[in-house]
Structure 1
């Protein structure tokens, strides 16, 4: 696998995160899922839970309160009902 995944996390008030990452794990309503570069397109709704972004050896985590995820040829976009970074 080569390349990076274009990822955007958007809440109603602003874009929370945008960048190229290695992997994103998210809480789908039908179960948790992970997205890597080149993933097949799909769309799903999200349940309340944690989104984890992997960038090299670093991880960032965001608490989300539902929303939608769209994976397409451009990357992954998550439109969250609410989202905030977990800093602890």
Structure 2
């Protein structure tokens, strides 16, 4: 039997997952990473993207739009600003998230405009990754 770890995914609205996982693929702000049992302890912030949880029974995918992940040898906890199972995500939801990121980019101070542009690009990529076609406003 594969070695497992405790995995929990929580957003402000609800607890989305609490399972024994063999690996968790995380869209980290500094790059994608995979947490596995006995992983070295670390904390990372999340970028908008698709988080995948692999268990002995299969895998589940969730969108996340920010937050952080705490990884340890015993398990991984993700506290997401917003998260939904991929199956629940609609075109309208992605369009709303992209529009919100676009508005933040337009209103961003020049010192953080590059960060806002990256957030917008990540939102668009997240929608595309799950098979939706985000309404992409021009930057």
Is TM more than 0.5 here? yes
**More off after superposition, 48-57 vs 22-31:** 48-57
**SS of equivalent to 2:39:** coil
- Gaps of at least 5 residues in structure 1 are none
Matching of residues 2-81 of structure 1 within 5 Å: 3-56=3-56, 58-81=58-81
Which of structures 1 and 2 has the larger relative contact order (alpha carbons within 8 angstroms, sep 6+)?
Answer: 1
Return the offset for 1:74.
3.3
Return the offset for 1:61.
0.3
RMSD over equivalenced CA pairs, Å: 1.7
- Gaps of at least 5 residues in structure 2 are 88-129, 131-139
Q: Deviations over 1:20-75 (max 9, x none)?
A: 01100010000000001010000010000000011125111000011100012431
8 A Cα contact 2:38 2:74, kept in partner: no
Query: Considering only CA atoms, is the larger Rg found in Structure 1 or Structure 2?
Result: 2
**SS of equivalent to 1:38:** coil
The answer to which structure has the higher strand fraction is 1
Which residue is equivalent to 1:82?
A: 82
**SS of equivalent to 2:15:** strand
Q: What is the TM-score when the length of structure 2 is the normalising length?
A: 0.59
Runs of 4+ in 1 over 4 A off after TM superposition: none
The answer to which structure has the higher helix fraction is 2
